[in-house]
């Protein structure tokens, strides 16, 4: 009798423990469902106010809103990813572009969204236009075109968000120039096909000319100048190589560096619709052989530049003046766009040896022989294209 009663008490205790466990699981599940039903027990952690100090956010290509929130959390800007994504959903920040952004530490999610939406807080941004040069260019009657060195300097500028009216902190252009001149080309990321030419360049300040491709670049504004230049050249080399530069150079009988050099002439000498014809003129003249005689190569060494050049300018002995030397200039006279590069890699078929822009709309006429070219030159003079303002 006592044994039976003992078994009964043990069995009842077991059932009670199991029932309690089941009830606990059910209650836990119910709480989870309740939290996710929009009636959360606790709100997402969030800071209050505009924040303090300065921090730098790096958004990479392909980052989702959640990843951006994680990055903001990691650098101490927001208290939780969930608070940020909640505040950012449905705003322009959903489609935030890759790049670098200045933010504060310990900002409310709403304040962080407002900061990222303000274009003044995007830093490290460069838009290099086709034909851009390393040095600033003074154009007669047209002001000054900022060079790539100046663009890099401006892209490194950081504001003190605690003192928004104060001067920005920037790398000076001379710091970028010094790195370009003094660093080993390997450390600068110069591709193998340009190493020798860069090392032996007649003007060290311009030795990286043409190796920064046009387009959008996002640089880390806190990086050292050598690293910034390497980042720019690495991404540019990748863009150039993707066009088939190396095999194309072999096919047309030039080195890759010469193709980039020739493409920089194409970029400066005409409009996009004529690029492939200008490329053919270059190759036809090299094959003759006859001097290229491009005014753009004369202009490259001049302090002040315009379309027309003087007799003295064309007679000047420089490493780029193709009136005074045979063949291609020593190196690029600017950054060729990918359209100009592809035109040089795959030029039009034709016997043209001459071309001239004949009006202010950029109309270019091509000729096989010089007498025909002379007629086109007269047309250009009559239209004021070849008149000099010097």
* Domains identified in the chain and CATH numbers: 52-122 (3.30.1490.480), 127-239 (no CATH), 255-382 (no CATH)
Neighbours of 375 (CB within 10 A): 13
Predicted local distance difference test score (pLDDT) of residue 390:
44
pLDDT value of position 24: 54
pLDDT of 22 reads: 46
Beta bridge partners of 139: 143, 305
- Calculate helix-pair angle for 225-241, 338-345, nearest 10 degrees: 40
For the chain, give the secondary structure using H, E and C.
CHHHHHHHHHHHHHHHHHHHHHHHHHHHHHHHHHHCCCCCCCCCCCCCCCCEEEEEEEECCCCCHHHHHHHHHHCCCCCCHHHHHHHHCCCHHHHCCCEEEEEEECCCHHHHHHHHHCHHHEECEEEECCCCCCCCEEECCCEEECCHHHHHHHHCCECCCCCCCCCCECCCHHHHHHHHHHCCCCCCCCCHHHHHHHHCCCCHHHCCCCCCCCEEEECCCCCCHHHHHHHHHHHHHHHHHCCCHHHHHHHHCCCHHHHHHHHHHHHHHCCHHHHHHHHHHHHHHHHCCCCCCCHHHHHCCCCEECCCCCHHHHHCCCCCCCCCCCCCCCCCCCCCCHHHHHHHHCCCCCCCCEEEECCCCCCEEEECCHHHHHHHHHHHHHCCCCCCCC
| pLDDT score, position 23 | 52
Retrieve residue 314's tokens: 């064309």
Nearest-angstrom CA–CA distance, 233 and 174:
18
- pTM of the model as a whole: 0.84
Can you give the pLDDT of all 390 residues of the chain as single tens digits?
A: 333 333 343 445 445 444 445 455 444 554 444 444 444 447 899 999 999 999 999 999 999 999 999 999 999 999 999 999 999 999 999 999 999 999 999 999 999 999 999 999 999 999 999 999 999 998 877 788 999 999 999 999 999 888 878 899 999 999 999 999 999 999 999 999 999 999 999 999 999 999 999 999 999 999 999 999 999 999 999 999 999 999 999 999 999 999 999 999 999 998 999 999 999 999 999 999 999 999 999 999 887 777 678 889 999 999 999 999 999 999 999 999 999 999 999 999 999 999 998 998 889 999 999 999 999 999 999 998 876 444
Q: What is the pLDDT of residue 387?
A: 63
Q: How far apart are CA 152 and CA 356, in angstroms?
A: 34
């Amino acid at each position: 009798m006592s044994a039976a009663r003992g078994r009964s008490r043990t069995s009842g205790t077991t059932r009670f423990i199991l029932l309690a466990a089941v009830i606990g699981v059910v209650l836990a599940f119910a709480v989870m469902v309740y939290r996710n039903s929009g009636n959360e027990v606790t709100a997402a952690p969030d800071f209050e106010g505009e924040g303090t100090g300065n921090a730098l956010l790096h958004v990479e290509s392909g980052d989702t809103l959640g990843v951006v929130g994680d990055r903001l959390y990691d650098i101490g800007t927001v208290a939780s990813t969930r608070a940020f994504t909640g505040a950012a959903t449905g705003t322009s920040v959903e489609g935030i572009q890759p790049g670098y952004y200045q933010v504060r530490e310990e900002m409310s999610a709403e304040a962080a969204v407002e900061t990222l939406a303000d274009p003044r807080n995007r830093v490290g941004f460069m838009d290099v236009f086709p034909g851009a040069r390393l040095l600033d260019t003074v154009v007669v009657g047209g002001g000054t075109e900022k060079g790539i060195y100046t663009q890099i300097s401006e892209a490194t500028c950081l504001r003190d968000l605690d003192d928004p009216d104060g001067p920005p902190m920037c790398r000076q252009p001379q710091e970028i120039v010094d790195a370009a001149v003094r660093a080993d080309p390997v450390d600068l990321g110069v591709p193998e096909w340009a190493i020798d030419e860069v090392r032996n360049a007649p003007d060290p300040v311009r030795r990286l000319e043409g190796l920064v491709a046009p387009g959008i670049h996002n640089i880390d504004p806190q990086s050292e100048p050598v690293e910034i230049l390497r980042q720019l050249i690495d991404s540019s080399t990748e863009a150039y190589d993707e066009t088939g530069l190396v095999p194309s150079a072999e096919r047309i009988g030039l080195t890759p560096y010469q193709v980039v050099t020739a493409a920089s002439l194409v970029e400066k000498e005409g409009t996009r619709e004529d690029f492939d014809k200008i490329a053919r003129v270059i190759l036809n003249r090299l094959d003759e052989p006859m001097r290229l005689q491009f005014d753009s190569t004369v202009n490259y060494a001049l302090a002040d530049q315009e379309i027309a050049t003087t007799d003295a300018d064309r007679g000047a002995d420089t490493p780029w003046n193709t009136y005074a030397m045979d063949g291609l200039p020593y190196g690029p006279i600017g950054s060729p766009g990918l359209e100009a590069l592809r035109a040089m890699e795959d030029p039009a078929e034709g016997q043209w040896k001459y071309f001239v822009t004949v009006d202010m709309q950029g109309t270019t006429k091509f000729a096989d022989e010089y007498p025909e070219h002379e007629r086109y030159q007269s047309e250009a003079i009559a239209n004021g294209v070849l008149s000099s303002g010097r």
